[in-house]
């Protein structure tokens, strides 16, 4: 009997593997009737349909649904905003703002896509692997000889 209980509580189990990031499906969902205040760290994908305030760090993708209201510093691989966000966003690959999405704050991303109707107020900076040339020559006017 004790062996059965030990197996039931996992004393003989293998070490846990890190979670894999599933491209399309969120592993964590904060529902429309949920309010969260604090630090949210997730290894997989996250969808927020409720209210979140604090810091969000997601290894995978972050989706903020139409009913999502976020006041936070955000860092994720990809961020899709259909709700409202106030704060700093760092999207390592892409930030997308849908027609119902609103972002107030500074963003850093490699690619930015704002659909017609989407709102962005703040400053943006693009990350890239391409080095900037040290010296750029101004265009020559046709009147100079």
Q: Specify the pTM.
A: 0.73
State the alpha helices, DSSP H only, in the chain.
2-8
Amino acid 132: pLDDT = 60
Rounded-to-integer distance, Cα 90 and Cα 128, Å: 13
Please report which confidence band the pLDDT of residue 4 belongs to, taking 50, 70 and 90 as the band edges. very low
* Token reading at 126: 């693009």
Residue 102 has pLDDT above 90, yes or no: yes
Average pLDDT rounded to a whole number, residues 17-27: 53
Contact 65, 49 (CB under 8 A): yes
What does DSSP say about strands 102-104 and 89-97: parallel, antiparallel, or unpaired? Answer: unpaired
Residue with tokens 């700093």: 88
């Amino acid at each position: 009997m004790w062996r059965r209980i030990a197996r039931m509580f996992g004393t003989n189990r293998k070490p846990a593997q890190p979670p894999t990031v599933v491209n399309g499906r969120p592993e964590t969902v904060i529902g429309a009737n949920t309010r969260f205040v604090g630090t949210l760290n997730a290894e997989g994908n996250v969808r927020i349909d409720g209210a979140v305030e604090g810091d969000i760090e997601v290894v995978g993708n972050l989706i903020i649904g139409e009913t999502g209201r976020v006041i936070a510093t955000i860092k994720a691989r990809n961020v899709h905003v259909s709700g409202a966000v106030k704060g700093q966003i760092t999207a390592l690959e892409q930030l997308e703002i849908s027609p119902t999405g609103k972002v107030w704050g500074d963003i850093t991303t490699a690619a930015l896509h704002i659909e017609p109707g989407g709102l962005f107020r703040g400053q943006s900076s693009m990350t890239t692997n391409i080095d900037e040339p040290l010296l750029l020559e101004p265009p020559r006017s046709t009147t100079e000889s």
